[in-house]
Structure formats: structure tokens, C-alpha cells
Copies of this chain bind each other. A is one copy, B any other.
Amino acid sequence: MPTPLPIAITAGTAGPWRITAIAALAGASLPQAARLAMHEGPDVPPPGAWQLRGVANSNLRYTAEVERARLAGVQQGLGRPGATRAALIPMSKSEAWWDLAQDARRALLEEQSQHIAIGLEYLPAVARRLIHCRDQGGEFDFLTWFEFAPEHEVAFDQLLARLRATAEWGYVTREVEVRLTRD
């Protein structure tokens, strides 16, 4: 795992991803825009219609060694040629969540909600990136990014439905889903 990598996700008129839908699941939505790009590195591109920034490749927050090994055995990276569908899901959790000590957040996330175990079922079809922004003063607490082939979109929708039914999601205060197609 390399050192933390600054990320800027910019929506506007340019970028390899065409925005096909923007929908708010909780809290305020994001403005409509035509295209989207994810930029890596410290040089921040122009802000476009809207821009979300954070850091990828940070240290693991909840995953245990045995889980990390299981994930590493099957997960695949971003940018696969066949992965022409993506979803950007920026999220925030409540103060009640962030107030919890580490063991309580871990227990909610995995022992109660099986967040890691459920996600594992959808690997390698769904490739993921987690971008943190709460400590950077961002509008959201984190930005989640998923890439998959068109034939795996139904499975991805099922993954989202299962996660959103968990106890962990009871702490989600804002969630916006941005669907994307690379063309």
C-alpha cells in the first residue's frame, strides 16, 4: 500500500465518464452535470460544476489482517477495460457514529452488519476505491467509487441494497449515488 494519495473528483463538461444519473438517498443531492473525471495527485484541477476531494490509499480503518488477506486474494484494480460502468457514492455518517470508540464502530460495521463479508461476495466483479475526506473538512465523510462490467450491474445493485439494509446504514446521514458510463 503506497502513501496517502490526494484525489479530486470533478464533474462538469469533461472527463472519461458520462454521468447517467444523480440521486440522493439521504440528505441533499449534488448538482446535475454531464461528465466526470477522477484526478490523482496533489495538483488540483479546475473545480468544474462541482468537485469533491479526499485521500485514497490511507491506512485501513476496520479491516482485520485475515479479512485483508481474503480480499487481496480476489479483488481487482480500477481501470479494467471491460469495467465500463462506475458508481460514485459520496457519504456522511452522523456525529453519533464518529463519537463511538473504535471497537464499537468495528462491531457495528462487521460483527453486526457484515460490511466486509458482504462486499467480499461481489469480488472480483466490483472493483472499489475508498476516499476519505472527513478529516480534510470535506462536504462528505468519504467518497466510495466502484467499477464493474455492464453484466455485473444487477449484482452491484444487489450489493447496495444489502448494505443499505444493515445496522451500519442507520448512521448514514447523507448519501448520493452518481451512476457513470465510460464511452
Name A's B-contacting residues (CB within 8 A).
1, 3-4, 6, 42, 55, 58-65, 67-68, 95, 98-106, 132, 134-137
Contacts and interface: CB of A to CB of B under 8 A. Distances in A.
Contact of A63 (B59, B67, B102): B102
| Chain A at the B interface: SS class | mixed
A102 B67 CA distance: 10
Copies of this protein in the assembly total 2
10 tightest A-B CB contacts, nearest first? A64-B103, A65-B101, A68-B101, A59-B98, A55-B135, A4-B135, A60-B101, A1-B99, A58-B135, A60-B102
Nearest to A56: B135
A1 B98 CA distance: 8
A134 B3 CA distance: 9
A68 B104 CA distance: 11
Contacts of A95: 1, 3
